[in-house]
Amino acid sequence: MSATGLALGAAAAVLPPRRRGTTSSLLLAELVQLERDGRAERFWTLCTAAASQLVSEAVDYRHREQVCPDEEAYLAATSAEPSAYARTVRTWLVDQWACTYTSSNVRPSVRDGSIEHFDRLYGAGMRASLARLFEESAA
């Protein structure tokens, strides 16, 4: 809602189709709970800050999502950080770099924070390598 300036239903409608139903129902339930807890205003403040940061960074997440499965992206990331566990690189590409999800199930690495730890260890190098790869391909 904060990012689009639209009401909840309209904001959910602009999400990619495979996420629309699940996202809007889960978000609505969470919003109701935040309201009950007296934390809704804080939530919206943080959403506004996050949306503003995303706009200022001008990252094309849709483009990232489209190239995420490309073998070139995987090779660029693993070449940048050869000591990173290769299977986790694929999860990182989806969850951390492209900010998207391949299913409605929340992965254990998201729940236990291990993907964030992996990102702290290897994310900067992989992001830099991916940025170079896609700058070169755009030129």
Tell me the pLDDT tens digit for each residue of 101-133: 666 566 777 677 888 899 999 999 999 999 998
Q: Specify the pLDDT at position 126.
A: 95
104 and 37 Cβ atoms separated by less than 8 Å: no
Question: What average pLDDT score do residues 73-96 get?
Answer: 91
Q: Specify the pLDDT at position 75.
A: 93
Q: Between the ranges 45-49, 84-88, 119-123, where is the mean pLDDT highest? A: 119-123
Q: Specify the pLDDT at position 118.
A: 93
Measured distance CA(7)–CA(35) in Å, rounded:
16
As given in the structure block, the two tokens for residue 77 are 């990331």
85 and 78 Cβ atoms separated by less than 8 Å: no
Closest CA to 96 of 71, 125, 72: 125
Provide the mean pLDDT of the chain: 81
Question: What average pLDDT score do residues 14-22 get?
Answer: 57
Task: Find the helix packing angle between 40-57 and 17-37, rounded to 10°.
Answer: 140
Question: What average pLDDT score do residues 59-66 get?
Answer: 84
